[in-house]
Structure 1
């Protein structure tokens, strides 16, 4: 039994196709199939039911895959331990970031990180929270930045900062002249939201879950970016909520339409998340320290109420 064979088994278990698994492992399909067959012969079991389309795991195959993940992860820790011992911070490192955080946070820390840790080959992907969780569990990401808490047993979370929700109120709205607003002030408004699949959208739904207009279908749902939602609000179609960091670079005309909520301000918790096996923890710590260093000057809110990114 070899680590390589276990890698091949995990690839087929994930993709449910020998040809696709071989492509992902950068080997020919016959090579991959032969190695898996050798493993099955050594163990005297059938790991995959090849008669089904797509290919599926047998009962014993499911148990083997669970153990194979542990073995492959622990094998990866050997190099991790050596790198930490040598004080080496480098190599390929894959990070996932959710779409509502990527455009504001990434420019704040990326340049600093690249200059401080030039030997790290940072690969950054924009993923939904659901995609991030799956990729972390499958070993396709080393860590991610997402809204938390996620309450995933196999994933650790390190809080980076708390980002308040800010209301964008057009001049035509009755609440425009208020200096601060409360959640109940939105009762009679249509709220413009991001398309389904964004956890910021879920946070707003959870924020307003106790309001009667939610039950009465008072939401005006629109897909698109925050920029699109701002334009729709300016057209008189409703109000929208923005994450605080997204408001920093707005022009002065649009900033005049922003309204903070009264304390405690509704906010999202933004965390660095990674698998509990803690592979490449030295790079994770380096990333956390870099982000923490730049974010302190941008967000100084303390009296906040964390809104869950998961629909309740």
Structure 2
């Protein structure tokens, strides 16, 4: 049994196709098939049911893949150990970022990071929270930037910043003439929300749940982007909430529609998350320092109330 064979097994398990798996690991399809067959003969079990389309894992194969993933991940970390001992900050680093953070945070830190750490090859993917959790679990990500707390077993959450919610309220709305708004002013009935799958939407629903009775069927308009929500609000179809960093991109003539909350300001916690067993800590720490450096000047709020992205209401106060 070799690490290479286990890599091949994991590729087929992921792609459910020998040809695609061979392309992923940069070998010919016959070579990959022969190595997997050798492994099956050595173990005297069938890992894959080739009679099904797409190819499926057998019951024993599922257990083998689970263990193979652990073995491959641990073997990959040998190089990480060497790099740490040498103080080397470099190599490929796979980072997932949630969609409501990607467009605002990435431009703020990516240039600085590349200049400071030119030997790090960042591979960044925009993924929703569920996808991030799955990929972290499978070892396809080294770390991610997501709204927390997520309370995942074996996952470390390193807080980067606390980002307030800001109301976007057009002049036709009942709250437009308020200098500052309160959580109790919010109604889910006229709230424009992001589509399902965005944790920012779950945070808003949790915020509204905390202030009054909430019925899942009340809200009506959803969109995939904050830009569309702003346009819908401008058409008089309701109000929306934006993450604070996104308000920096609002058009000058629309800034009059931005309303801050009274303290304690509802906010989301944004963290760098990674498996507790992760060994690329020198890169994780480099990312944390770079992001903290640029965000510190952009977000200087105190006395915030953290709204959980989980599908339940969980709040905690934070002052810094």
* TM-score interval for Structure 1 and Structure 2 normalised by the shorter chain: over 0.9
Cα displacement (A) at 1:286: 0.8
The aligned runs of 1:35-50 (5 Å cut-off) are 35-50=35-50
Q: Look up the SS of the partner of 1:23 in the other structure.
A: helix
Please state if 1:71 is matched with 2:71: yes
Cα displacement (A) at 1:90: 1.2
Deviation track 1:18-70 (CA, whole Å, cap 9, x = no partner) reads: 22221211212211111111111112222222223332222322222121111
Distance 1:216 1:81 in 2: 49
Q: Which residue in the other structure is 1:153 paired with?
A: 153
| 1:11 to 1:276, Cα distance in 2 relative to 1, 3 A | farther
Contact persistence 1:188–1:213 (CA under 8 A):
no
Q: Which residue in the other structure is 1:97 paired with?
A: 97
Contact persistence 1:163–1:243 (CA under 8 A):
yes
Contact persistence 1:128–1:197 (CA under 8 A):
yes
Distance 1:206 1:160 in 2: 22
Distance 2:224 2:68 in 1: 41
TM-score by length of 2: 0.92
Contact persistence 1:167–1:242 (CA under 8 A):
yes
Distance 1:279 1:169 in 2: 46
Please state if 1:2 is matched with 2:17: no
The aligned runs of 1:156-305 (5 Å cut-off) are 156-187=156-187, 189-210=189-210, 212=212, 214-215=214-215, 217-305=217-305
Please state if 1:84 is matched with 2:102: no
Cα displacement (A) at 1:105: 0.4
| 1:22 to 1:239, Cα distance in 2 relative to 1, 3 A | same
Distance 1:167 1:308 in 2: 18
Distance 1:217 1:179 in 2: 30
Divergent runs of 4+, >4 A = 210-213
Q: Which residue in the other structure is 1:21 paired with?
A: 21
Q: Which residue in the other structure is 2:315 paired with?
A: none
Contact persistence 1:73–1:277 (CA under 8 A):
no
| 1:276 to 1:33, Cα distance in 2 relative to 1, 3 A | farther
Distance 1:277 1:51 in 2: 38
Distance 1:233 1:95 in 2: 33
Contact persistence 2:188–2:214 (CA under 8 A):
no
* Runs (5+) with no aligned partner, structure 2: 313-320
Out of 229-238 and 180-189, give the one that drifted further.
180-189
Cα displacement (A) at 1:161: 0.8
Q: Look up the SS of the partner of 1:151 in the other structure.
A: coil
Cα displacement (A) at 1:272: 0.7
Distance 1:39 1:217 in 2: 53
Cα displacement (A) at 1:213: 6.5
Contact persistence 1:191–1:219 (CA under 8 A):
yes
Aligned residues: 312
Distance 1:188 1:106 in 2: 30
TM-score by length of 1: 0.94
Cα displacement (A) at 1:211: 5.1
Distance 1:187 1:62 in 2: 47
Distance 1:152 1:24 in 2: 29
* Runs (5+) with no aligned partner, structure 1: none
Deviation track 1:139-182 (CA, whole Å, cap 9, x = no partner) reads: 22221111112222243221111111111111111211112111
Distance 2:280 2:188 in 1: 49
Cα displacement (A) at 1:102: 0.7
Out of 214-223 and 262-271, give the one that drifted further.
214-223
Q: Look up the SS of the partner of 2:162 in the other structure.
A: strand
